[in-house]
């Protein structure tokens, strides 16, 4: 899958020889090639980092990654420790697979309180597992999915891979590439010269902020992280491990799970900002080099964060957007999470137990893999900017990553049992009482590393340093 992922971000096939994969094995296991997805997506990010280093005049560093370390990183949320005790949250009680009327299955997602409340409203139940399971037995999987989504909640009915691609949402996803590159500023657009305009050339902006060494090729570059949950935040923490100044901005009105913030927050600053604050928002965009967007397509258009409006105002900006179900098609605006995408796209059916009970991947690999691919796309687009090429932007989705995993050759059946990556101390990063899985990979034998641990949510000002 490394070749496919590298090609998806537009990489030169000759550069594949620049990545060494150590400790190759079936660390994660499962009937699908989850280990291959990990190596492919994270490997593409490392190769893109090496290309950026070369573009910035630092030579092209040799890249390497341990497949065992990757397996741990792809399950990093399970390995968070605070004062020696596990701090991972796992799934809430109302996030579960349910047997429905007619023998079908559906999965719900209630990790966030507002999604749990929508689920209970849709099914007219009290927030208990017993009530949820009873309600599910009275409706078909498709009826449950429709009711919960209509109420603003999150659910997905189980489908086979064949059924998914035969439906409108799956067919729309199948028509898009794994990484969809979109143009930057529209032809003939004028760079604004007002308060928030940038008039220097794209190449000059980056060349005047040299990285210190090839092991930190993104040093001096600014990444505005408007993402949540896992995939987008993984992209941000990956860029932070490569030296970028990453500022994650959250809305003051949206809740965040503490354990998720601990896992994906290292190497970033954290600020709260109402995006309706135009001067603060535009000042951030004007000085950013990369914008990571992880909200549903169209959700932020009212703040001028739609693709056309962004390109017109900030043509220098590399934007990498993430969605659950793709940026086109009938489900483009639907809420979604890795666990739900696995169920809808056929992954849960492919991982089913012998008795037909739907299964799961051994990691939230759609989230982690798509996050690494987002980072790879951002790094390659930055390298192009350094070379004086126009800024380009990319779009990815969990559902399209799922399609790539399903299409990959299956591992040999006799080796579907995982080897079991050990939580070795050498793969850990420590920040006081907090222990995390360190970022996987190295450049010129220097391991990737975060400059600091996660800052408290909202602890930093919503601005770039002077």
Active site residue 367: yes
Q: What is the pLDDT of residue 144?
A: 98
Residue 122 has pLDDT above 60, yes or no: yes
CA–CA separation, 120 and 271 (whole Å): 32
Q: What is the pLDDT of residue 76?
A: 95
Residue 426 has pLDDT above 60, yes or no: yes
Q: What is the pLDDT of residue 206?
A: 62
Half-sphere exposure at residue 264, Cβ-oriented, CA atoms within 13 angstroms? 27
**240 alpha carbon, distance to own chain's centre:** 14
Q: What is the pLDDT of residue 366?
A: 98
Q: What is the pLDDT of residue 416?
A: 60
Percent with pLDDT over 70 in the chain: 92
Least confident piece of the model among 118-122, 135-139, 257-261, 437-441: 257-261
Q: What is the pLDDT of residue 367?
A: 98
Q: What is the pLDDT of residue 200?
A: 45
Residue 217 has pLDDT above 80, yes or no: yes
Residue 94 has pLDDT above 60, yes or no: yes
Residue 188 has pLDDT above 50, yes or no: no
Task: Give the mean pLDDT of 374-399.
Answer: 95
CA–CA separation, 33 and 448 (whole Å): 25
Task: Give the mean pLDDT of 208-219.
Answer: 82
Residue 184 has pLDDT above 80, yes or no: no
Q: What is the pLDDT of residue 191?
A: 40
Q: What is the pLDDT of residue 203?
A: 56
Task: Give the mean pLDDT of 351-367.
Answer: 96
Write the burial class of residue 161 (CB in 10 Å: 0-12 exposed, 13-18 middle, 19+ buried): middle
Half-sphere exposure at residue 110, Cβ-oriented, CA atoms within 13 angstroms? 20
Residue 303 has pLDDT above 70, yes or no: yes
Q: pLDDT tens-digit profile of 306-324?
A: 888 999 999 999 999 999 9
Q: pLDDT tens-digit profile of 55-81?
A: 999 999 999 999 999 999 999 999 999
Q: What is the pLDDT of residue 190?
A: 43
CA–CA separation, 401 and 404 (whole Å): 5
CA–CA separation, 260 and 239 (whole Å): 18
pLDDT bucket at 343, cuts 50 / 70 / 90: very high
193 CB-near residues (< 8 Å, 6+ apart): 199
- Apex 406 CA angle, 400 and 410, nearest 5: 150
CA–CA separation, 250 and 455 (whole Å): 13
Distance (Å) of CA 5 to CA 103, 131, 278: 37, 43, 37
Q: What is the pLDDT of residue 58?
A: 94
Q: 11 versus 415: which is more confidently predicted?
A: 11
Domains in the chain (CATH in brackets) are: 2-90+172-331+361-447 (3.40.50.10540)
Distance (Å) of CA 6 to CA 174, 179, 234: 19, 10, 18
Residue 196 has pLDDT above 60, yes or no: no
CA–CA separation, 227 and 119 (whole Å): 23
Average pLDDT, the chain: 92
Q: What is the pLDDT of residue 271?
A: 97
- The first and second tokens of residue 76, run together, are 């990093």
- The first and second tokens of residue 311, run together, are 């390109």
pLDDT bucket at 186, cuts 50 / 70 / 90: very low
- Catalytic annotation, pick one of 289, 367, 444, 460: 367
Q: What is the pLDDT of residue 414?
A: 55
Least confident piece of the model among 99-113, 173-187, 336-350: 173-187
What's the longest Cα–Cα distance across the chain?
65
Q: What is the pLDDT of residue 417?
A: 64
Residue 42 has pLDDT above 80, yes or no: yes
Q: What is the pLDDT of residue 201?
A: 55
Q: What is the pTM of this model?
A: 0.93
């Amino acid at each position: 899958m490394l070749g496919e992922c590298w090609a998806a971000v537009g990489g030169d096939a000759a550069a594949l020889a620049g990545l060494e994969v150590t400790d190759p094995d079936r660390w994660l296991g499962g009937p699908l090639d989850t280990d291959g997805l990990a190596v492919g997506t994270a490997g593409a990010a490392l190769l893109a980092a090496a290309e950026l280093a070369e573009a910035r005049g630092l030579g092209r560093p040799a890249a390497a990654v341990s497949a065992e370390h990757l397996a741990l990183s792809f399950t990093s949320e399970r390995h968070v420790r605070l004062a020696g005790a596990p701090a991972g949250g796992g799934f809430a009680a109302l996030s579960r697979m349910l047997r429905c009327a007619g023998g079908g299955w559906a999965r719900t997602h209630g990790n966030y309180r507002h999604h749990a409340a929508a689920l209970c409203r849709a099914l007219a139940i009290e927030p208990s597992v017993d009530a949820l399971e009873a309600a599910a037995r009275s409706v078909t999987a498709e009826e449950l999915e429709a009711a919960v989504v209509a109420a603003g909640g999150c659910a997905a009915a189980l489908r086979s891979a064949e059924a998914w691609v035969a439906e409108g949402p799956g067919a729309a996803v199948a028509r898009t590439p794994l990484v969809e590159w979109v143009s930057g500023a529209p032809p003939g657009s004028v760079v604004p010269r007002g308060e928030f305009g940038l008039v220097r050339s794209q190449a000059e902006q980056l060349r005047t902020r040299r990285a210190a060494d090839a092991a930190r090729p993104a040093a001096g570059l600014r990444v505005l992280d408007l993402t949540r949950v896992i995939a987008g935040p993984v992209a941000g923490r990956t860029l932070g491990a490569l030296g970028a100044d990453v500022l994650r901005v959250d809305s003051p009105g949206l809740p965040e799970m503490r354990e998720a913030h601990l896992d994906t927050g290292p190497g970033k600053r954290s600020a709260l900002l109402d995006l309706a604050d135009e001067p603060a928002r535009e000042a951030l965009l004007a000085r950013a080099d990369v914008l990571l967007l992880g909200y549903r397509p169209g959700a932020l258009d009212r703040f001028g964060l739609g693709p056309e409006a962004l390109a017109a105002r900030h043509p220098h900006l590399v934007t990498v957007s993430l969605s659950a179900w793709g940026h086109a098609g009938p489900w483009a605006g639907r809420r979604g999470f890795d666990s739900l995408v696995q169920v809808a796209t056929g992954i849960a059916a492919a991982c089913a137990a012998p008795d037909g009970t739907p299964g799961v991947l051994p990691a939230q690999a759609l989230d982690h893999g798509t996050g690494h691919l987002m980072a790879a796309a951002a790094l390659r687009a930055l390298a192009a900017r350094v070379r004086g090429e126009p800024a380009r932007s990319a779009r990815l989705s969990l559902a399209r990553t799922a399609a790539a995993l399903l299409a990959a050759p299956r591992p040999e059946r006799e080796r579907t049992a995982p080897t079991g990556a050990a939580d070795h101390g050498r793969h850990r990063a420590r920040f006081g009482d907090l222990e995390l899985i360190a970022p996987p990979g190295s450049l010129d034998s220097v391991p990737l590393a975060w400059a600091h641990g996660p800052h408290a949510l909202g602890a930093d000002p919503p601005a770039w340093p002077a």
